[in-house]
């Protein structure tokens, strides 16, 4: 049996681009652990932990959680993982976070393998996010606090201002893979798989 190698995939793309759905499938089929800082933070909010109480107002306002909190969460998640086989969904979001993550991965001897960038037009994104909120209500669930048009538009703006430099950062390291994020889930997944090393 061959030993599994380290593999680190970072999904980039605006909120609503389908990163979570595609990352889950790639994790399942590729034997990787999906790490979503958003999921971890929402879990802390739901459980009412000290961290959850600190980040709830930040998340509700559509703002980004401070880097030191996120890096500590990730360091904790990767501790003892051997080999390191992960997909990051929604992290990093800034160049400072990417640099901190690179340093952490270097310590672990697990450099970034690929960075698929899901590209979807703004209006399609807003429509998807609002629809996700509608579906939650229709199925008797509480929609996510950020599944409203107002918060969605604010998050798109924050994404453009703060995350755009990441595209340059990973592009300069030849990790970036442009992926058309419009189409069926299977079509988009096939495009992502076509970019994997």
List residues with catalytic annotation: 19, 93, 132, 144, 155
Q: Binding residue per annotation — 93?
A: yes
Q: Binding residue per annotation — 64?
A: yes
Q: Binding residue per annotation — 42?
A: yes
Judge whether 151 and 62 are in contact, CB under 8 Å: yes
Q: Binding residue per annotation — 120?
A: no
- Residue 65 token pair: 């959680």
Q: Binding residue per annotation — 65?
A: yes
Q: Binding residue per annotation — 132?
A: yes
Q: Binding residue per annotation — 144?
A: yes
85-89 β-sheet, strand order: 7-11, 85-89, 33-36
> What is the spatial distance between Cα 87 and Cα 186, in angstroms, rounded to a whole number?
18
Q: Which residues are CB-neighbours of 20 under 8 A, at least 6 positions away?
A: 36, 89, 90
Q: Binding residue per annotation — 20?
A: yes
Q: Binding residue per annotation — 97?
A: yes
Q: Which residues pair with 114 in a beta bridge?
A: 9
> What is the spatial distance between Cα 156 and Cα 126, in angstroms, rounded to a whole number?
9
Q: Binding residue per annotation — 145?
A: no
> What is the spatial distance between Cα 152 and Cα 122, in angstroms, rounded to a whole number?
10
Q: Binding residue per annotation — 111?
A: no
**Half-sphere exposure of residue 130: CA atoms within 13 angstroms, side-chain side:** 10
**Range 13-43 burial, b when 16+ CB lie within 10 A, else e:** bbbbbbbbebbebbbeeeebebbbbbebbbe
Q: Binding residue per annotation — 135?
A: no
Q: Which residues are annotated as a binding site for AMP?
A: 37, 42, 63-65, 90-93, 97, 144, 155
Annotated binding-site residue numbers: 16-21, 37, 42, 63-65, 90-93, 97, 132, 144, 155, 183
Binding site, annotated residues for ATP:
16-21, 132, 183
């Amino acid at each position: 049996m061959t030993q599994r190698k380290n593999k680190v995939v970072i999904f980039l793309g605006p909120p609503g681009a389908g990163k979570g759905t595609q990352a889950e499938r790639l994790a399942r089929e590729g034997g990787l652990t999906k790490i979503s800082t958003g999921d971890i933070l929402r879990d802390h909010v739901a459980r009412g932990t000290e961290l959850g109480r600190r980040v709830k107002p930040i998340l509700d306002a559509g703002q980004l959680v401070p880097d030191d909190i996120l890096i500590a969460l990730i360091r904790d998640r990767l501790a003892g993982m051997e080999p390191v086989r992960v997909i990051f969904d929604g992290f990093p979001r800034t160049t400072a976070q990417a640099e901190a993550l690179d340093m952490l991965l270097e310590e672990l001897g697990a450099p970034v393998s690929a960075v698929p960038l899901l590209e979807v037009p703004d209006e399609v994104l807003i429509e998807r996010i609002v629809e996700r909120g509608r579906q939650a209500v229709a199925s008797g669930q509480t929609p996510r606090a950020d599944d409203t048009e107002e918060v969605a538009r604010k998050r798109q703006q924050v994404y453009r201002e703060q995350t755009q430099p990441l595209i340059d950062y990973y592009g300069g390291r030849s990790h970036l893979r442009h992926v058309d994020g419009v189409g069926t889930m299977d079509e988009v997944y096939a495009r992502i798989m076509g970019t994997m090393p």
